[in-house]
């Protein structure tokens, strides 16, 4: 089983890096595109056409949804454990499993629904008309089921490994450099 854990950990780390890369490229492209649009508007009084379409249909979706996996992998979601920390270990662990199971179901439902929407947009070759240009947008709809599906798969892996008493995939400590320790922040 150790080789399965190693494979899972390596796969999760690779996906983490790949999604960080894609989201970073999307963020950088959005910054450059918007900056060029502002400069063109101010200097030439002619903003770049279709900027709003690319920002809303591609860049923002990439930047907002692909990091779901990254956030789950790095335990970056907001959590409130005001009362849970006082529960016995067994009950706290069972409650954690229940919460994970609920989120898995939610992510699977979101992935299935967004996949259905993607296939519908693909079938009609969905596009947006802005000014006099036609921009194909169906590819952007694929980012949602990918993001929700990968987050669900990671949570399934973490839940199963935790229930089996195996180490769950977690970001290496150097990935959190510069992030203040939660316990040190409360002191």
- Residue 29 CB contacts under 8 Å (≥ 6 apart), including other chains: 59
pLDDT digits (tens, 9 = 90+) for 26-78: 999 999 999 999 999 999 999 999 999 999 999 999 999 999 999 999 988 88
Beta bridge partners of 134: 129
pTM for the model stands at: 0.83
Residue 28, token pair as written in the block: 């950088």
Residue 62 · residue 143 · CB < 8 Å: yes
pLDDT digits (tens, 9 = 90+) for 78-129: 877 788 889 999 999 999 999 999 999 999 999 999 999 999 999 999 999 9
């Amino acid at each position: 089983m150790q080789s399965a854990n190693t494979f899972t950990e390596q796969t999760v780390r690779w996906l983490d890096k790949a999604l960080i890369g894609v989201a970073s490229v999307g963020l950088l492209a959005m910054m450059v595109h918007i900056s060029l649009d502002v400069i063109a508007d101010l200097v030439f009084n002619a903003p770049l056409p279709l900027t709003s379409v690319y920002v809303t249909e591609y860049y923002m979706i990439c930047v907002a949804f692909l990091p779901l996996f990254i956030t789950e992998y790095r335990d970056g979601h907001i959590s409130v454990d005001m009362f849970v920390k006082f529960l016995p270990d067994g009950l706290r662990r069972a409650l954690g499993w229940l919460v994970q199971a609920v989120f898995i179901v939610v992510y699977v439902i979101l992935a299935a629904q967004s996949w259905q929407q993607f296939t519908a947009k693909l079938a009609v070759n969905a596009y947006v008309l802005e000014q006099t240009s036609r921009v194909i947008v169906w590819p952007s709809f694929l980012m949602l089921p990918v993001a929700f599906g990968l987050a669900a798969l990671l949570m399934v892996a973490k839940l199963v490994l935790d229930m089996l008493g195996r180490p769950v995939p977690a970001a290496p400590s150097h990935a959190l450099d510069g992030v203040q320790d939660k316990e040190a922040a409360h002191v």
